[in-house]
């Protein structure tokens, strides 16, 4: 009887313990309201820091590559167009983010605010997913700490407002790990979970190929921890399927990868293993290198105290990722000080590990508070330095640009199709044609305002400066001269004099402390002149046309502004500028192919030397270069349709 009573009590105790364990498991997977309120605050703070400067600091080199591959300069781009652009210009990248960006732009436009907002959205979702995943794996306290650590990491926040794929990459990797965790735990799951597992694995590979080192860390952990079963094999088969889907892109990527890894720039900047280890050590802890001391002590304490399976799994994933990336760099030498962003993918797993370590000792609140204070201070320092922070990989291109975004915002809605923005650049970098042939200046003028522009190199002097002014103006008759009154370059007076020599001043468009914009018009025109557009039946347009007669120089100068509806028309049609007598006799003629670089403004100069006194008029004709048939066009001023349109009239005195 006594033995039966003892067994009964023992059974009750075990049943009670099971209930406690079950309750603890349920508590771990749900977060009380005050934790959710704290997470809301964390998300708002991270969003605010990520959003700051979204529409202020200029797009930099890599963002320009992203925008070019998405089709910002030749929209709309279909997904095949995006893939084709990457094949030609950026074969070392994969298409998912660029395809999403091109489709996003169809909805919100191509300016930097909405384009960067996509990365900010992915960043906010990343922090939310990190919290939810960590609640399920390590509990709500670790989840909140990990979310705070990630949102206060200056290196990560820098990518919340860049037109780059990294916040999407981190989000997809975390989602894949979350689905994997549920599958490997042996839970009953449906086909949707398996589909999501395969889809996220494929998506993360097609977002950035360096995600393979994340999968390598996950696979190393999978070989050690989960029990070997049919599900274990099914998970491995899912990864194999994801890798097989990348085979069609292997030839493209390998061409780009080996092109990058063998370039002089990559090899000259590549870090040795000790140099890389030191740089990564700074990156992971927000450049507060002393934080490695408490991390090391706490890690030793946790590893010595007792086995914690979930923590060890996460730690092994992080270490596997680090090992794979270091081995990769040892073989190919691809990671330089400006490519530390490749380690971003390890950051969510690192902060989860650190969060668990901070909770591993009894006075965790004091230790965690001090640690977070140092961590956040370092993160804010990185955030303040932004592109000037060495490890961010941002070259000093941004510091060499005028405030193009402010100019674009100030002029938006006030420009006309004929206008040409003209200003100063501290260096020629703003005018450099990048992979797609477009410049940073083109993005802010053509994409942002829908007009052309040019910026004179402020470092030039003398004849080189005069020639650069001529090249930038390129005979554009309608100028918007814009600059920062508080930051006038040394050459300001010389450039202003050159502009005023050929152009007349019109109205002031913007007058602020840091932005001044004034409209100028070619001296033979008036500020209130009505434009003379022609719309041809085939879709080609003349946005304006005019000419002037130089009596002393015995010449005429004819200007026409052209736009085509389809690039194929550049090869099909020619333009003819003809000088006719009063009775219609042709005495001078200049014909050009449309593809001969006459878009947008085409200038023809004809001598009048030797012409008899009398009245003359100048006309423009558009014709098919093969059939010679003239194209009809409607003069939008008088509404008349004709094949020959007048430009100007003048009289040669006896």
Mean pLDDT for 55-62 is: 84
> Chain-wide mean pLDDT for the chain?
89
Question: Over 247-261, what HEC string results?
Answer: HHHHHHHHHHHHHHH
Q: Which residues 6+ apart lie within 8 Å of 591 measured at CB? A: 574, 575, 576, 577
Structure confidence by residue, pLDDT tens digits, 441-474: 999 999 999 999 999 999 999 999 999 999 888 7
What is the pLDDT, as a whole number, of residue 9? 47
Pairwise CA distance, residues 595 & 216, whole Å: 51
Q: Find the DSSP H helices in 30-139.
A: 33-51, 61-70, 79-89, 96-108, 112-138
What is the pLDDT, as a whole number, of residue 268? 78
Structure confidence by residue, pLDDT tens digits, 396-443: 445 567 889 999 999 999 999 889 999 999 888 888 888 888 999 999
Contact in structure between 530 and 637 (CB atoms under 8 Å): yes
Mean pLDDT for 4-19 is: 41
Structure confidence by residue, pLDDT tens digits, 503-515: 999 999 999 999 9
What is the pLDDT, as a whole number, of residue 596? 79
Question: Is there a cis peptide before residue 76, judged by omega within 30 degrees of 0?
Answer: yes
What is the pLDDT, as a whole number, of residue 267? 77
CA distances from 153 to 13, 50, 373, 503, 587 (A): 46, 11, 12, 52, 73
Contact in structure between 243 and 211 (CB atoms under 8 Å): no
Give the pLDDT band (50/70/90) at residue 29: low
User: For the whole model, what pTM was predicted?
Assistant: 0.86
What are the strands of the beta sheet with 541-550, ordered from one edge?
Answer: 601-607, 555-563, 541-550, 534-536, 633-635, 641-642
Bridge partners (DSSP) listed for residue 420: 452, 479
Contact in structure between 60 and 395 (CB atoms under 8 Å): yes
Pairwise CA distance, residues 172 & 176, whole Å: 6
What is the pLDDT, as a whole number, of residue 31? 63
What is the pLDDT, as a whole number, of residue 59? 87
Which among 382, 647, 451, 420 is positioned nearest to 533, based on CA atoms? Answer: 647
Contact in structure between 158 and 385 (CB atoms under 8 Å): no
Burial status of residue 597 (CB atoms within 10 A of its CB: 0-12, 13-18, 19 or more): exposed
Pairwise CA distance, residues 433 & 210, whole Å: 28
Other Cβ atoms within 10 Å of 513 Cβ, number: 8
Element (H, E) at 555: strand 555-563
Pairwise CA distance, residues 527 & 545, whole Å: 15
What is the pLDDT, as a whole number, of residue 419? 93
């Amino acid at each position: 009887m006594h033995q039966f009573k003892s067994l009964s009590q023992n059974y009750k105790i075990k049943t009670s313990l099971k209930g406690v364990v079950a309750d603890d498991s349920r508590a771990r997977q749900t977060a009380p309201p005050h934790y959710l309120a704290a997470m809301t605050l964390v998300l708002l703070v991270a969003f605010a820091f990520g959003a700051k400067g979204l529409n202020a600091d200029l797009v930099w080199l890599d963002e320009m590559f992203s925008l070019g591959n998405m089709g910002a300069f030749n929209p709309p781009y279909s997904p095949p167009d995006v893939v084709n652009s990457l094949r030609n210009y950026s074969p070392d990248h994969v298409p998912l983010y660029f395809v999403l960006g091109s489709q996003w732009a169809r909805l919100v436009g191509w300016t930097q605010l909405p384009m960067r907002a996509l990365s900010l959205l992915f960043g906010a979702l990343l922090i939310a997913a990190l919290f939810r995943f960590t609640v399920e794996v390590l509990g709500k306290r670790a989840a909140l700490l990990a979310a705070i650590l990630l949102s206060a990491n200056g290196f990560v926040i820098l990518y919340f407002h860049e037109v780059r794929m990294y916040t999407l990459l981190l989000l997809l990797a975390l989602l894949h790990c979350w689905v994997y965790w549920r599958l490997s735990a042996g839970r009953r799951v449906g086909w949707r979970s398996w589909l999501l597992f395969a889809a996220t694995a494929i998506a993360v590979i097609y977002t950035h190929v360096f995600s393979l080192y994340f999968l390598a860390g996950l696979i190393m952990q999978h070989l050690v921890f989960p029990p070997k079963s049919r599900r274990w094999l099914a998970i491995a088969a899912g990864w194999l399927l994801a890798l097989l889907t990348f085979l069609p892109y292997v030839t493209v990527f390998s061409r780009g990868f080996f092109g990058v890894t063998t370039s002089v720039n990559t090899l000259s900047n590549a870090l040795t293993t000790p140099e890389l280890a030191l740089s990564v050590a700074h990156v992971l802890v927000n450049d507060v290198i002393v934080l490695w001391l408490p991390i090391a002590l706490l890690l030793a304490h946790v590893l010595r105290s007792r086995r914690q399976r979930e923590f060890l799994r996460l730690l092994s994933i992080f270490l596997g990722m680090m090992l794979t990336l270091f081995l990769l760099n040892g073989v190919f030498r691809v990671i330089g000080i400006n490519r530390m962003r490749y380690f971003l993918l390890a950051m969510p797993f690192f902060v989860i590990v650190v969060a668990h370590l901070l909770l591993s000792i009894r006075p965790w609140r004091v230790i965690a508070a001090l640690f977070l204070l140092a961590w956040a201070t370092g993160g804010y320092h990185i955030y303040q330095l932004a592109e000037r922070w060495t490890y961010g990989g941002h070259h000093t291109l941004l510091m060499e640009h005028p405030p193009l975004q402010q100019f674009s915002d100030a002029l938006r809605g006030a420009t006309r199709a004929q206008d040409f923005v003209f200003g100063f650049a501290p260096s020629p970098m703003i005018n450099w044609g990048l992979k797609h042939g477009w410049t940073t200046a083109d993005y802010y003028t053509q994409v942002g305002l829908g007009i052309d522009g040019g910026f004179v190199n402020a470092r030039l002097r003398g004849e080189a400066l005069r020639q650069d002014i001529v090249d930038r103006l390129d005979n554009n008759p309608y100028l918007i001269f814009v600059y920062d009154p508080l930051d006038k370059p040394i050459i300001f007076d010389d450039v202003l004099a050159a502009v005023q020599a050929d152009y007349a001043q019109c109205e002031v468009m913007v007058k602020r402390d840091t932005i001044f914009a004034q409209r100028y018009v070619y001296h033979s025109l008036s500020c209130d002149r009505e434009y003379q557009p022609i719309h041809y039946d085939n879709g080609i347009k003349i946005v304006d046309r005019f000419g002037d007669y130089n009596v002393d120089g015995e010449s005429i100068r004819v200007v026409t502004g052209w736009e085509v509806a389809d690039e194929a028309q550049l090869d099909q049609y020619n333009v003819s500028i003809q000088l006719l007598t009063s009775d219609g006799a042709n005495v001078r003629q200049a014909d050009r192919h449309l593809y001969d670089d006459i878009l947008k403004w085409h200038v023809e100069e004809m001598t009048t030397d030797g012409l008899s006194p009398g009245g003359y008029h100048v006309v423009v004709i558009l014709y098919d270069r093969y059939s010679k048939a003239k194209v009809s066009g409607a003069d939008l001023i008088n509404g008349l349709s004709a094949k020959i349109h007048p430009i100007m009239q003048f009289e040669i005195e006896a």
